[in-house]
Chain A
């Protein structure tokens, strides 16, 4: 039973890794960021490229991907998203376009394929990220054999969640972000530089996606469409948990991940997937504001 719960926990962690960034950009800032999956993918490519070109290890890719993805997010926010605040559907369309741009940039090696130049690690093919030996195989904890890589995913997720929690609730930046979530105009009136805080928040959310990408790269093959399917799961978690609620996102990913594991063990993976979708639909119908949303004034 412990191993089933552990599998559920690791599924929850993967969901949370993707959803954490979304919880900030979508939940807090009201931007439907369709490019979030592509930022995850870009993070995975940072792992591929740093392995090939810098010969650095998998662990070094984690901070590198955070920085690269945060920079990418900052650029997207400045160029596109900052002009679209308050226009939910427009952000969806615009970031969808951005997501295609990023995907094709990787696929066409930033256009260099047209000139016959090939950059190792980019292009349409499947890329391979070398996983350190200690993360392969199992670790034995209290007589239970646990998958080492999944354990590492859980650990990284816990650290990132704690970090996000700390920033949101224990720093002045976090207080500003929360003020903007509640009422952007009032926050601006109180002297908060909304533009700057928004750009930073978006960059941070994207950085989290970059780390998620590195974690996924050790899990499956890296290809340009790695992220597009994950963004759906991410939105599912955020919507179930409730907009703007960090605790909601955490609880929802735990709930969905564990449900998935338990149903899959009892029946099969295909049915488990259907049950998850049914549960999300049920939540949206019965409690449209999400399971753990706070009251808006």
Chain B
């Protein structure tokens, strides 16, 4: 036995080279799939909402593949489970970017998970597509935000409540974390600007569903309208308690920023009938693209009763915006997406959407829906066109005085 070290090394090199060879060959093929990540919670308490978003992304990818893929290549989705835990989100994001060498990830739902993965995307130069409406106050060059920011949901909503509904006293209520608190901050400015007043700003722990005392306070506060930033399961218990304490939506309507078709279906439509929500997209939108979208999504998830909602629509259309960006710049990297996607428009199920060239957020059309007895909304007010996203609206950002531009955040303008 005279196996020298050199022989061993040689054999090992040959072996690994031959193993690697098919990989190199397949790289040369034009049809090698473009890999993208879908990072949502498949398990845990957020899985209910996030699995649907992952399905929205998968459906868009399937449709893109059916029409020839991107740049002649098919798209392959690598699904990872964030398990409703920000720490797991950050580990899985690293896995997708470092191990799988994926440059584009569609994912995250809560702000907590987005904040957890953000440093990884910025450090590794990858791009995150984030579809959920959020509180703003972020200006990353490595995130494309396709959901609504506070100025989409509140800028027309509050003046409309004051003028059209004739309400003067707001009771602001929310779940106790960053999104409702930021939304309340914006709301207060708008309420005062509209000449109305707010009588209370109260919170319930996230995930709690005991509303008896809060609803009693609403009843006794003298408020004539409730602005709700309540999220998750708590929404259902809130609307039920509201009706069960004998408050009529006609007297004190709940005007919500989070309550969507999902929660309405889960609470029973009669509890919410007459209340309002402000969203850029509603399932009831009477547009040809939307009808077909609902039908296709129901088929895709194999559930004929599945409802569609704002975040789901955004999860779906963001994939097409990414496609257009990549096709324009012919570059799969973050820099290519960033330059390619600026100003890119797409005819989404809920109408035209455009990625803003300054802050990489999305131009959306603010709409106000009133919930009907059938669990669907009737759009009672809508902007005639999409409006510019202003992620720092709460801190005084306006269209003529931008805080977040293509150069990043101008911290000199930000006074907290």
| A7 touching B48 in the complex, CB below 8 Å, given contacts A126-B266, A138-B245 | no
| Given A131-B268, A145-B246: A126 in contact with B233 (beta carbons within 8 A) | yes
CB proximity of A136 to chain B, nearest CB, Å: 6
- List A residues 256-297 near B (Cβ within 8 Å): 261, 264-265, 268-270, 272-273
Q: Find residues 213-256 in chain A having any chain B CB closer than 8 Å to their own CB.
A: 218-221, 223, 225, 229
Give A116's nearest chain B residue, CB to CB. Answer: B302
Is the pair A148, B244 in contact by a Cβ cutoff of 8 Å? yes
With contact pairs A138-B246, A270-B204 given, residues A265 and B268 touching in the complex (Cβ less than 8 Å)? no
Q: Nearest CB to that of A120 among chain B residues? A: B305
Complex alpha-carbon distance, A10 and B210, angstroms: 10
> Contact: A4 with B207, CB < 8 Å?
no
Which of A138, A148, A270, A272 touches B203 (beta carbons < 8 Å)?
Answer: A270
A269/B205 contact (C-beta < 8 A), A11-B212, A138-B245 known: yes
- Chain B proximity mask over A132-154: 1 for CB below 8 Å, otherwise 0: 00001110000001011110000
Q: How far is the CA of A145 from the CA of B234 in the complex (A)?
A: 24
With CB as the reference atom, state the residue of chain A lying closest to B237.
Answer: A220
What is the CA–CA distance of A246 and B268 in the complex, to the nearest angstrom?
37
Residues of B within 8 A of A126 (CB): 48, 233, 236, 262-263, 265-266
A124 surroundings in chain B (CB, below 8 A): 47-48, 51
Give the A-B contact count at a CB cut-off of 8 A: 101
**Given A261-B213, A269-B210; A125-B205 close (CB under 8 Å):** no
The answer to whether A127 has its CB under 8 Å from any CB of chain B is yes
CB within 8 Å for A147 and B212 given contacts A136-B244, A221-B236 = yes
A239 to B234 CA separation, bound complex (whole angstroms): 27
Are B212's CB and A261's CB within 8 A? yes
B399 in the interface, Cβ–Cβ < 8 Å? no
Cβ-based interface call for A3 (8 A):
yes
The answer to whether B244 touches A138 (Cβ under 8 A) is yes
B202 at the interface (CB under 8 A from A): yes
Do A147 and B209 have beta carbons less than 8 Å apart? no
The 8 Å CB contact of A268, one of B203, B209, B234, B244, is: B203
How many residues of chain B get a CB closer than 8 Å to chain A's CBs?
38
Contacts of A125 in B (CB 8 A): 48, 266
- Please tell me if the beta carbons of B209 and A270 are within 8 angstroms of each other in the complex: no
Assess whether B243 is interfacial by the CB under 8 Å rule: yes
- Residue pair A137, B243 in contact (C-beta under 8 Å): yes
Closest to B51 in A: A124
Whether A118 is near chain B, meaning CB under 8 Å from some CB there, is yes
The A183-224 residues at the B interface (CB cut-off 8 A) are 218-221, 223
> Known contacts A118-B302, A268-B203; is A149 also within 8 Å of B48 by CB?
no
Determine the chain A residues whose CB is within 8 A of the CB of B246 once the complex forms: 137-138, 145, 147
Given the known interface contacts A137-B244, A268-B203, the answer about A128 and B213 at a Cβ–Cβ threshold of 8 Å is no
Q: Kindly report which residue of chain A lies nearest to residue B84, judged by CB atoms.
A: A225
- CB pair B216–A7 under 8 Å, yes or no, is yes
Indicate which residue in A128, A225, A261 contacts B266 across the interface (CB closer than 8 Å). Answer: A128
Residues of A within 8 A of B265 (CB): 126, 128
Decide: A221 near B233, CB < 8 A? Known: A125-B48, A147-B212: yes
Instruction: Output the least CB separation between B90 and chain A (Å).
Output: 23
| B205 contacts across to A, CB distance below 8 A | 269-270, 273
Interface residues of B in 12-71 (CB under 8 A from A): 45, 47-48, 51
Task: Assess whether A130 is interfacial by the CB under 8 Å rule.
Answer: yes
Cα separation A4 to B212 with both chains bound (whole Å)? 9
Q: Tell me whether B176 is interfacial, beta carbon within 8 Å.
A: yes
B116 lies within 8 A of chain A by Cβ:
no
Name A92-148 residues within 8 Å CB distance of B. Answer: 116, 118, 124-131, 136-138, 145, 147-148
A107 shortest CB reach to chain B, Å: 8
Least distance between A151 CB and chain B CB atoms (Å): 10
On chain A, the residues within 8 Å of B169 by CB distance are none
Of all chain B residues, the one with the shortest Cβ separation from A226 is B233
Interface pair A220/B236, CB less than 8 Å apart? yes
Which residues from chain A contact B245 at a C-beta distance below 8 Å?
Answer: 138, 145, 147
Residues of chain B lying within 8 A (CB to CB) of residue A147: 212, 241, 244-246
* Complex interface residues of chain A between 1 and 22 (CB less than 8 A to chain B): 3-4, 7, 10-11, 14
CA distance A270 to B173 in the complex (A): 13
Cβ of A10 and Cβ of B212 under 8 Å apart?
A: yes
> Does the CB pair B216–A4 fall under 8 Å?
yes
Contact A264 B213, beta carbon cutoff 8 Å: yes
Q: Closest approach, in angstroms, between the C-beta of A271 and any C-beta of chain B?
A: 11
Closest Cβ neighbor of B307 among chain A residues: A125
Q: Which residues of B contact A218 (CB under 8 A)?
A: 240
Query: In whole Å, how far is A141's beta carbon from the nearest beta carbon of chain B?
Result: 13
Given contacts A3-B216, A149-B244, A268-B203, contact A220 B268 (CB under 8 A): no
**Beta-carbon contact of A220 and B303 below 8 Å:** no
Q: Cβ of B194 < 8 Å from any Cβ of A? A: no
- B244 and A7 within 8 A (CB): no
| A residues near B270, Cβ cutoff 8 Å | 136
Q: How far is the CA of A264 from the CA of B203 in the complex (A)?
A: 11
B330 at the interface (CB under 8 A from A): no
Check A269 against B243 for contact (C-beta < 8 Å): no
Whether B216 lies near A220 (C-beta < 8 A) is: no
A291 to B364 CA separation, bound complex (whole angstroms): 59
Residue from B202, B234, B245 with most neighbouring chain A CB atoms (10 Å): B245
Looking across the interface, which residue of chain A has its beta carbon closest to that of B245?
A: A147
- Distance in angstroms between the alpha carbons of A7 and B212 in the assembled complex: 6
Within 8 A of A (CB), among B256-301: 262-263, 265-268, 270-271
Residue in A closest to B212 when the chains form the complex, CB atoms: A7
Bound-state CA distance A150–B237 (Å) is 12
CB distance B216 to A265 under 8 Å? yes
Q: What would 9 A/B residue contacts be, using CB atoms closer than 8 Å? A: A125-B266, A126-B266, A131-B240, A220-B234, A220-B236, A265-B213, A269-B202, A272-B213, A273-B205
Binding site for B on A (CB under 8 A): 3-4, 7, 10-11, 14, 116, 118, 124-131, 136-138, 145, 147-150, 218-221, 223, 225, 229, 261, 264-265, 268-270, 272-273
- Other than the given A11-B212, A131-B240, A265-B213, 18 more pairs (CB < 8 A) read A4-B216, A10-B212, A118-B303, A126-B233, A126-B265, A131-B268, A147-B212, A220-B209, A220-B237, A221-B236, A223-B45, A223-B233, A229-B207, A261-B213, A264-B213, A268-B202, A269-B210, A270-B204
Q: What 5 A-B pairs come out closest when comparing CB atoms?
A: A126-B266, A138-B246, A264-B213, A221-B236, A220-B237
